């Protein structure tokens, strides 16, 4: 790889954060009235105060979907990102557990090639956990919160609070990855495929064209029936970045509170659907509530909506699940599918309703 392309790949990170404000807990009192179910097995809908659901969760129709399903613990979204703080009360019971692995005994009990991989693997550190080794960036926890935060501690509620998330750390402490990391990226994708993920959330983009290593890994995911959700990118221009641009990746653009395209969101013919990504509310490590912006935070709504569809009907093929989502999306912008919004704003309620077989 030449110096020029290496330079391109060095910026690659995500940097989804156009705008980030961290609020103290008291500043968001109106979001803290979600009564927790307290248990680890399922969310009690009766205890969720509708006024405590954050705007983006409501905007994608999640509360309507929850009348049909809040998610199945059998459905797993692998989050290849900067690592998850699974000690946050809202996330601790949402983590996928590798039932065939005994944690901390120094043995690869399930023989999958990873020792003590209880909740996933930290590919950045090559160790079993995001909370050991190098410090994590907040990005991955924020993504996880949007997908699966449970209203256990009166904080945030994700779109699919009863599914499970697999923690595959790939981005470094600065939320970046580098030109030497493609093999690592592919390994994380293969881990998700081999260990039962139904969906992979890739809130990551780069400004160059990745090597065949990544393309092949994403093709393997597709061939294995794993849905991959990616992002358009945050340059505010007409170009969907890789890996969102691959045909096997569902590219998501970001909308704002007025259902307009967020100023930072890339767009282009490869956009499949859109979701809120401007000043959306989720969790920081340690469970603090914050607002974040980026196409990185639009994609998790889509991953979680797909997870709800599969929770409702596990018999759907990946393509059928995706069709439920795209066909029920609310058209935005010019009539019909367009470069800014794709098929439109996802509607989890209608998508889940349409997921019944027969």
Which of the residues are catalytic?
81, 139, 296
Write the DSSP string, 117-163: -SSEEETTTTBS-TTSSSPPPTHHHHHHHHHH--GGGSS---SSTTS
Shortest distance, CB of residue 186 to Ca ion, whole angstroms? 19
What are the residues facing 127 on neighbouring strands? 122
Our CB check for Ca ion shows the closer of 138 and 242 to be 138
Our CB check for Ca ion shows the closer of 85 and 162 to be 85
Contact set with Ca ion (CB under 5 A): 101-102, 105, 107-110, 112, 114, 116-117, 122, 125, 127, 132-133, 331, 333, 338
Q: Angle 324-330-331 (CA atoms, 0-180°, nearest 5)?
A: 115
Number of residues written out for the chain? 358
Our CB check for Ca ion shows the closer of 58 and 108 to be 108
Closest among 81, 76, 94, 75 to 37, alpha carbons compared: 94
Assign 50 to helix, strand or coil. helix
Shortest distance, CB of residue 340 to Ca ion, whole angstroms? 7
Shortest distance, CB of residue 132 to Ca ion, whole angstroms? 5
Torsions phi, psi of 164, nearest 5?
A: -120, 145
Shortest distance, CB of residue 30 to Ca ion, whole angstroms? 32
Contact between 82 and 284 (Cβ < 8 Å): no
Cα 345 to Cα 332: distance, rounded to the nearest angstrom: 7
Our CB check for Ca ion shows the closer of 150 and 169 to be 169
Query: For the range 237-241, what are the long-range contacts, defined as Cβ-Cβ under 8 Å and sequence gap of 24 or more?
Result: 237/266, 237/267, 238/266, 238/267, 238/268, 238/339, 239/266, 239/268, 240/266, 240/267, 240/268, 240/269, 240/270, 240/271, 241/205, 241/206, 241/207, 241/266
Shortest distance, CB of residue 133 to Ca ion, whole angstroms? 3
Return the residue nearest Ca ion (CB atom). 133
Shortest distance, CB of residue 149 to Ca ion, whole angstroms? 22
What are the residues facing 228 on neighbouring strands? 200, 249
Q: How, if at all, do strands 227-231 and 120-122 pair?
A: unpaired
Our CB check for Ca ion shows the closer of 108 and 190 to be 108
Our CB check for Ca ion shows the closer of 320 and 338 to be 338
């Amino acid at each position: 790889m030449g110096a020029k392309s290496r330079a391109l790949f060095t910026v690659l990170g995500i940097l989804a954060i156009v705008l980030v404000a961290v609020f103290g807990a008291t500043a968001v009192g109106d979001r803290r009235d979600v009564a927790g179910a307290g248990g680890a097995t399922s969310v009690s809908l009766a205890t969720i105060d509708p006024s405590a659901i954050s705007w983006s969760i409501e905007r994608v129709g999640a509360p309507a979907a929850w009348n049909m399903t809040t998610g199945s613990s059998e459905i797993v979204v692998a989050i290849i990102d900067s690592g998850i703080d699974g000690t946050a009360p809202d996330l601790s019971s949402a983590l996928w557990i590798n039932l065939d692995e005994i944690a901390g005994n120094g043995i690869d009990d399930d023989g999958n090639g990873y020792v003590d991989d209880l909740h996933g693997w930290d590919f950045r550190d090559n160790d079993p956990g995001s909370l050991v080794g190098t410090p994590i960036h907040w990005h991955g926890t924020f993504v996880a919160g949007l997908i699966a935060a449970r209203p256990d501690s009166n904080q945030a509620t994700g779109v699919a609070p009863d599914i499970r998330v697999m923690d595959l750390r790939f981005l470094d402490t600065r939320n970046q990855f580098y030109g030497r990391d493609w093999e690592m990226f592919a390994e994380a994708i293969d881990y998700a495929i081999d260990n039962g993920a139904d969906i992979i959330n890739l809130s990551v983009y780069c400004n160059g064209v990745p090597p065949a290593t990544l393309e092949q890994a994403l093709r393997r995911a597709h061939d294995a029936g794993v849905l991959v959700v990616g992002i358009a990118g945050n340059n505010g221009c007409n170009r969907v970045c890789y890996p969102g641009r691959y045909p096997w990746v569902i590219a998501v653009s970001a909308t704002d509170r007025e259902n307009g395209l967020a100023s930072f969101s890339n767009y282009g013919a490869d956009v499949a659907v859109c979701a809120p990504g401007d000043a959306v509310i989720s969790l920081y490590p340690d469970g603090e509530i914050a607002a974040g912006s980026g196409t990185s935070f639009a994609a998790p709504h889509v991953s979680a909506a797909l997870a709800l569809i599969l929770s409702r009907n596990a018999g759907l093929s990946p393509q059928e699940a995706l069709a439920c989502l795209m066909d029920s999306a609310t058209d935005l912008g010019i009539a019909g599918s367009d470069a800014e919004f794709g098929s439109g704003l996802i509607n989890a309620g209608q998508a889940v309703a349409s997921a019944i077989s027969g």
